[in-house]
């Protein structure tokens, strides 16, 4: 499968949150906990294993980066364990390893996220270090230069990676000039220009209690969690410095085609149109529609036609990607240069037929069975549960979403799916970007 930009990749993963199973929903109870200081979190208690997982996020990510400082949010993720408070990088990392806790950060387009896991016996000492990392990170010269070199190598690799090139070009074509279309990790020039003051400024704009969302799963009670929330996050400012809210993104209208010539045996193709956002009232029927057409892996109609029947690709995908300021409908495939035109034409034909006729009742029933039966796999560990709950919070779906999700999927009718296919599928308006030496593409 092709590698999408982090912004799209993260949001497509969110789609997986909305595929429910009653069995998994009944396996745990979600509590809303409010700390003495007013910090809220969702908690699932699980005391069978002496481990606690905590996922959290702050509103704002790569889309809010200043011009010329693209990549500063991602750079910040690499600096969060490079010393904090009075502890230099080596001392901080040594203590982290001694306590055997995990701490990670990720910068997406709309959210800056953190993940944390610790053994119960080390919870107090581990959260002491987490608090320092979040509230008082250091940006010393030596680790900053070392991390910069790592990011520069990463950026260079991505700039020459055909799938990444195809998706970056597609984002440039569908959202020209919008912050969403900027490279998530910046460019060589912007990474080289980022200073310690830039990182401090990014930290100041991201880390605040006002946009904080937290999900905790594991060996901790609600009574214990309240003070821990204040300990870890209470030292953050109540609000971030004022920033203007970006307007809704406006996708360009296709058809459009851009070919990036590269001397390689295969062509990498990205394609799509405008989609819908997660708060659209018809999102669930639209998601089921999308699952049948192209999101369902090897069982999708696109895969059946292009991969199974014609043998033109190892994999093809086409799914909804809801973001905060826009919804996109994005797809990809990879094929030999000689068959690039045939594969793309076949995709257009399948999409056109599906838009006109929709799926069969059998297609819909099978999709529902898969969607409602696969959810339990997404709750396989404390960390996985915390990740799912955080995503539900970010999408404003409500604390009862896990319990009611299956009923929403089961309620989708064939007429609703057909209506969404007519509404969202426009093969004559596809924006297409190709990396390689494609033949027959038009």
Q: What is the CATH number of the domain that holds 57?
A: 3.30.830.10
Question: 263 and 228: one domain?
Answer: no
Q: Over its length of 442 residues, how does the chain's per-residue pLDDT go in tens digits?
A: 344 444 333 333 333 333 333 334 457 899 999 999 999 999 999 999 999 999 999 998 899 999 999 999 999 999 999 999 999 999 999 999 999 999 999 999 999 999 999 999 999 999 999 999 999 999 999 999 999 999 999 999 999 999 999 999 999 999 999 999 999 999 999 999 999 999 999 999 999 999 999 999 999 999 999 999 999 999 999 998 988 789 999 999 999 999 999 999 999 999 999 999 999 999 999 999 999 999 877 889 999 999 999 999 999 999 999 999 999 999 999 999 999 999 999 999 999 999 999 999 999 999 999 999 987 788 889 999 999 999 999 999 999 999 999 899 999 999 999 999 999 999 999 999 999 999 999 8
**In the listed set 233, 265, 291, which residue is the last one of a domain according to the structure?**
233
Question: 223 and 268: one domain?
Answer: no
Domain that holds residue 166: 20-233
Question: 213 and 309: one domain?
Answer: no
**In the listed set 233, 268, 283, which residue is the last one of a domain according to the structure?**
233
Tell me if 10 is assigned to some domain: no
Name the packing angle between helices 401-410 and 283-290 (round to 10°). Answer: 60
Query: What does the pLDDT read at residue 10?
Result: 35
Q: Position of tokens 């405008």?
A: 274
Tell me if 297 is assigned to some domain: yes
Question: 200 and 290: one domain?
Answer: no
**In the listed set 233, 267, 296, which residue is the last one of a domain according to the structure?**
233
Tell me if 279 is assigned to some domain: yes
Tell me if 225 is assigned to some domain: yes
pTM value is 0.90
Query: What does the pLDDT read at residue 122?
Result: 98
Question: 309 and 366: one domain?
Answer: yes
Domain count, the chain: 2
């Amino acid at each position: 499968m092709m590698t999408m930009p982090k912004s799209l990749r993260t949001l497509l993963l969110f789609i997986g949150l909305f595929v429910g199973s009653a069995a998994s929903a009944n396996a745990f109870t979600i509590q809303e906990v409010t700390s003495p200081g007013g910090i809220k979190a969702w908690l699932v208690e699980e005391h069978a294993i002496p481990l606690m997982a905590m996922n959290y996020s702050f509103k704002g990510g790569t889309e809010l980066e200043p011009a010329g400082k693209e990549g500063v949010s991602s750079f910040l993720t690499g600096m969060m364990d490079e010393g904090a408070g009075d502890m230099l990088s080596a001392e901080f990392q040594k203590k982290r390893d001694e306590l055997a806790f995990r701490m990670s950060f990720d910068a997406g387009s709309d959210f800056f996220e953190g993940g944390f896991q610790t053994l119960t016996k080390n919870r107090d000492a581990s959260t002491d270090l987490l608090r320092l990392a979040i509230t008082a990170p250091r940006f010393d010269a030596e680790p900053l230069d070392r991390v910069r070199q790592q990011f520069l190598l990463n950026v260079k690799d991505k700039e020459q990676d055909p799938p990444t090139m195809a998706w970056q070009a597609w984002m440039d074509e569908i959202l020209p000039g919008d912050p969403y279309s900027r490279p998530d990790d910046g460019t060589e020039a912007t990474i080289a220009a980022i200073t310690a003051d830039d990182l401090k400024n990014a930290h100041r704009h991201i880390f605040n209690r006002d946009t904080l969302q937290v999900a905790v799963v594991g060996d901790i009670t609600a009574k214990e969690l309240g003070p821990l929330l204040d300990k870890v996050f209470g030292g953050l400012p109540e609000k971030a410095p004022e920033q203007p809210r970006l307007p809704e993104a406006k996708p360009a209208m296709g058809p459009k085609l851009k070919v990036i010539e590269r001397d390689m045996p295969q062509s990498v193709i990205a394609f799509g149109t405008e989609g819908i956002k997660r708060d659209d009232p018809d999102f669930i029927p639209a998601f089921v529609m999308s699952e049948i057409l192209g999101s369902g892996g090897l069982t999708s109609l696109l895969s059946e036609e292009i991969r199974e029947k014609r043998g033109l690709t190892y994999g093809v995908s086409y799914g909804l990607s809801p973001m905060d300021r826009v919804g996109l409908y994005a797809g990809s495939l990879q094929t030999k240069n000689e068959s690039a035109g045939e594969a793309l034409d076949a995709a257009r034909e399948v999409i056109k037929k599906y838009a006109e006729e929709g799926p069969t009742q059998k297609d819909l029933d099978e999709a529902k069975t898969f969607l409602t039966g696969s959810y339990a796999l997404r709750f396989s560990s404390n960390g996985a549960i915390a990740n799912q709950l955080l995503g539900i919070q970010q999408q404003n779906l409500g604390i009862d979403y896990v319990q009611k999700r299956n009923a929403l999927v089961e309620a989708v009718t064939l007429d609703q799916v057909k209506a969404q296919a007519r509404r969202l599928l426009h093969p004559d308006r596809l924006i297409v970007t190709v990396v390689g030496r494609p033949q027959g593409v038009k």
